[in-house]
Structure 1
Amino acid sequence: MLRILITNDDGIDALGIKRLAEALLTLEGADIYLVAPQEEKSGVGHGLTLRSALDPQERDFYGLPVKAWAINGNPADCVKAAYHLLFEDGQKPDIVFSGINVGTNLGRDIYYSGTCSGAREAVILGVPGVALSYDNWFDQENYGEVTEMIQPLVREFAEQAKKGVLPENVFWNVNIPHVPQAQIKGIVPASLSLNHYEDKYSKEEEGYFLMREYPEAEPPAELLDYDLVKSGYIAVTPVHIDATDKALLKEMGEWSFVKSWGKREG
């Protein structure tokens, strides 16, 4: 039996998490659990609830055969609570799927995204994590054929999790174009696009709102996650949670303050 945990950042009542559950329920021999924020928590990054108590509430979930809780916290809280509090038999999830998010999480979005933090927290706890996002920001009630489109992906990740062969310290960031399934060109590995938008603030009566602008740019030498999704591909990015620059760490041994400190100690 494969034990699967689902979470998201759009809240337990969001349509995207229902679509994800429906896709996972097609897997044979899967035991599905769902722990999600009781309200929308988009853009909270990897925030944790530290100064108030978490209060998991068991919920019916659209009548689907999953065991579900809503939590007054963030996506990372949901995964932590599931791992430490909610599995009474002491067993842990074999894999965590987070999403399906309204809108993409591309490039540096991975640092702001609650969806990505759900998958990242799983990996921190030693459990494989997969974040899924759908490019429907301007058509939010329309999830099209996304359930059918992600079935091969979730099946592959679930099988690899069952075999225990997914790499440690990596979560998978999946972004899906908002097109009919017949127009999907393929599923491809992709690097993060870190500069495809610019932050701008729009002044309104209430104050300043953070906005994004997508400037015209020359075609990149390498097609990154943003370019691939906009071209009709499902982009899959392995994201390592150890952000240490190992090459630079080695080079720092020659920096003057490091060498001078070493001499004083010697």
Structure 2
Amino acid sequence: MLRILITNDDGIDALGIRRLTEALLTLEGAEIYVVAPQEEKSGVGHGVTFRSALEPQEHDFYGLPVKAWAINGNPADCVKAAYHLLFEDDQKPDIVFSGINVGTNLGRDIYYSGTCSGAREAVILGIPGIALSYDNWFDQDNYGEVVEMIQPLIQEFSEKAKKGELPQQVFWNVNIPHVPQNELKGIVPASLSLNHYEDKYNKEGAGYYLVREYPEVMPLAEPYDYDLLKHGYIAITPVHIDATDRDLLKQLDEWTFIKSWGKREG
């Protein structure tokens, strides 16, 4: 048996989390739990709730054969609360899937994304985490053939989780193009595209709204997630949660303010 926890940042009633659940229900021997925000929490990053109480509420989930709860918190809260409050110590989830998000989470989006934080929180708790996002921001009610397209991907992630073959301290960021399945070019590894959009603010009334400007799609030259997605590939990026720059850490020994204090003890 494989125990699967599903969360998202678009809210428990979003179509994307239903599509993800439908895809995972096709896995043999899967026991599925859904724990998601009771309302949309897009862009909240890895925020967790400290100053108010979390109240998990059982939730009917489209009549599907899963156990579901809605939580008055963020995606990271959902995973953390599920781990500590809803599962017995000997019955923790084997893998966490977060999504399917409306719109992509590419490049530096991983730091703002509630979808990614759900997968990241799983890894912090010692559970493999996979974030899935779909490039349908301008066609939000249309999830096309996404269930069929992610089938081999969720199958392999699930099998590797069952065997303990997924690396620790890494969550997987998956972005899916909004194309028919017969136009999908493949599933490929990708680097984060950190500079593919520019943030600006537009004045409306008395306030300012954040907007993003994206470049025209250029010929595919680098294996970046944005470029690969826009050329019809599912892009998969392993994201390590230890962000320490090991090379720079070694160089710090030669910085003046550190040398002036001498070497550390021990």
TM-score range, shorter chain: over 0.9
Post-superposition shift, 1:91? 1.3
Post-superposition shift, 1:215? 3.4
Q: Deviations over 1:92-151 (max 9, x none)?
A: 000000000000000000000000000000000000000000000000000000011111
Question: 2:153 is matched with which residue?
Answer: 153
1:190 aligned partner, one-letter code: A
Tell me if 1:36 matches 2:54: no
2:11 aligned partner, one-letter code: G
Post-superposition shift, 1:68? 0.2
Question: 1:170 is matched with which residue?
Answer: 170
Partners of 2:82 and 2:56 lie apart in 1 by: 9
Partners of 1:5 and 1:188 lie apart in 2 by: 25
Where 2:200 maps in the other structure, the secondary structure is strand
Where 2:188 maps in the other structure, the secondary structure is strand
1:97 aligned partner, one-letter code: F
Question: 1:188 is matched with which residue?
Answer: 188
5+ long unaligned stretches in structure 2: none
Q: Deviations over 1:53-98 (max 9, x none)?
A: 0000001100000000000000000000110000146410000000
Tell me if 1:118 matches 2:129: no
Partners of 1:118 and 1:264 lie apart in 2 by: 37
Tell me if 1:250 matches 2:260: no
Post-superposition shift, 1:222? 1.8
Residues 90, 263 of structure 1: alpha-carbon distance in 2 compared, 3 angstrom cutoff: closer
Partners of 2:40 and 2:144 lie apart in 1 by: 22
1:238 aligned partner, one-letter code: P
Partners of 2:258 and 2:217 lie apart in 1 by: 40
1:215 aligned partner, one-letter code: P
1:91 aligned partner, one-letter code: Q
Partners of 1:130 and 1:264 lie apart in 2 by: 39
Q: TM-score, normalised by structure 1?
A: 0.97
1:43-58 to 2 correspondences below 5 Å: 43-58=43-58
Structure 1 window deviating more from structure 2 (38-47 vs 253-262): it is 253-262
Post-superposition shift, 1:223? 2.6
Where 1:96 maps in the other structure, the secondary structure is strand
Partners of 1:70 and 1:222 lie apart in 2 by: 40
Tell me if 1:144 matches 2:144: yes
Q: TM-score, normalised by structure 2?
A: 0.97
Residues 147, 255 of structure 1: alpha-carbon distance in 2 compared, 3 angstrom cutoff: same
Partners of 1:240 and 1:42 lie apart in 2 by: 22
1:234 aligned partner, one-letter code: I
Across the two proteins, how many residue pairs are aligned to each other?
266
Partners of 1:217 and 1:185 lie apart in 2 by: 16
RMSD value over aligned CA atoms?
1.7
2:122 aligned partner, one-letter code: A
Partners of 2:134 and 2:216 lie apart in 1 by: 23
Post-superposition shift, 1:199? 0.4
Where 2:5 maps in the other structure, the secondary structure is strand
Question: 1:5 is matched with which residue?
Answer: 5
Where 1:35 maps in the other structure, the secondary structure is strand
Where 1:159 maps in the other structure, the secondary structure is helix
Question: 1:204 is matched with which residue?
Answer: 204
Post-superposition shift, 1:205? 1.4
Percentage identity across paired residues of the two chains: 84
